[in-house]
Amino acid sequence: MSDKSGHTDLELGAAQERLIKIVENVETVIIGKRQAVELVLIAVLARGHVLLEDVPGVGKTSLIFSVAKSVDCDFKRIQFTPDLMPSDVTGFSIYNQKTGEFEFRAGSVMSNIVLADEINRASAKTQSALLEAMEEKQVTVDSVTYVLPDPFMVMATQNPIESFGTYPLPEAQIDRFMLKLSMGYPNIDEEQLIVRAGRDVRAALHPVVSRADILELIDMAERVWVNPDIERYIVEIVAATRSNSRVSLGSSPRGSLALSATAKALALLRGRSHVYPDDVKYLAPFVLGHRIILSQEARAERVAPNDLIRDIVDGIVAPI
């Protein structure tokens, strides 16, 4: 029997089983970080981009590689450096003397999953080469538009403690990331398991779902039902970021769209055809924390954006 989403219990069970397979496959490499693994998978289902900000060596790149390998999608890595050019990202046209015509040579962005490693090491000009790709799922080179493969997502990493030789991401770029998260250090037991597994654990990874499966799961996530009261709840949370005294700039409507899309994806991951208010509460810090600019007073008090978002959410009555 199906509900307002059109999904049957059998379809939901099969979808959840496939998603759990992906999570467990990634966890053979990424030990003890199920939350981060699930959040990245949620972004895949919601057709969003992820910014991983953490210190070196905690597995940011391995996480992205493992997700791409598990879903059997094309994967390319771009190492962002100060001398990286926009054409290295988007591609360029080259003159073919034999045909007398210009030919397009695709850049590294032409892939299903793109790792923008240390994205803040490239100049603003090169960073901006991703803006059109991340928002419109296309690139324009020499006035010709090229559509990117489906699905398409950018997973970027950056080091939060290093400033020398880096270029801070502009607000417009940050706002295009659906989720921002950190992995953190493993605990003692987890790190012992990492040491025991060794460096070559990624070599044993194999795909557990196909690209076609992922597109089907994305379609199912998009059709998860959101009650109008929960839609209102999402909008009220985002609107509250614009009136909070500790926030100098609140989230744009893109935050509302991202919170709705990720809540649908989380519901599907949990085997449900509809969104709960708790889904919204859980995801709000990861979706909205990077979309606000704190006031000078809040920065002086060392307020964490994610904690502030949690306070805002706690101050709004959730629908029953």
Q: Detail the DSSP E strand segments found in the chain.
A: 50-53, 75-79, 91-96, 101-106, 113-117, 138-141, 144-147, 153-158, 179-181, 247-249, 293-294
pLDDT of residue 162: 67
DSSP one-letter string for 112-174 = SEEEEETGGGS-HHHHGGGHHHHHHSEEEETTEEEEPPSS-EEEEEE-TT--TT--PPPHHHH
The domain that contains 162 carries what CATH number?
3.40.50.300
pLDDT of residue 59: 87
What's the rounded Cα separation, in Å, for the pair 142 and 50?
Answer: 28
- Cα 172 to Cα 45, 64, 286: the distances in Å are 23, 23, 17
Give the pairing type, strands 293-294 and 247-249.
antiparallel
Are 208 and 238 found together in one domain? no
Token pair recorded at residue 146: 């090229």
Three-state DSSP state, 51: strand
Residue 200 DSSP label: G
Domain-ending residue, one of 220, 243, 264:
220
The domain that contains 297 carries what CATH number?
1.10.8.80
Are 76 and 190 found together in one domain? yes
Are 204 and 314 found together in one domain? no
Tell which residue, 292, 312, 214, 296, has the closest CA to residue 252: 292
pTM for the model stands at 0.92
Sequence letter at residue 280 = V
Are 186 and 118 found together in one domain? yes
Are 216 and 233 found together in one domain? no
Q: Is 186 exposed, middle or buried (0-12, 13-18, 19+ CB in 10 A)?
A: middle
pLDDT of residue 7: 80
Are 119 and 208 found together in one domain? yes
What's the rounded Cα separation, in Å, for the pair 71 and 66?
Answer: 9
* Mean pLDDT in consecutive groups of 10 residues from the start of the chain, 320 residues: 72 94 93 94 96 88 90 91 91 84 87 92 88 91 90 91 75 92 90 84 86 95 96 97 94 96 97 96 97 94 94 93
Are 182 and 231 found together in one domain? no
Are 289 and 230 found together in one domain? yes
Residue 8 DSSP label: B
Are 281 and 308 found together in one domain? yes
Are 196 and 305 found together in one domain? no
Q: Which domain holds residue 250?
A: 224-320
| Domains of the chain: total | 2
Are 182 and 317 found together in one domain? no
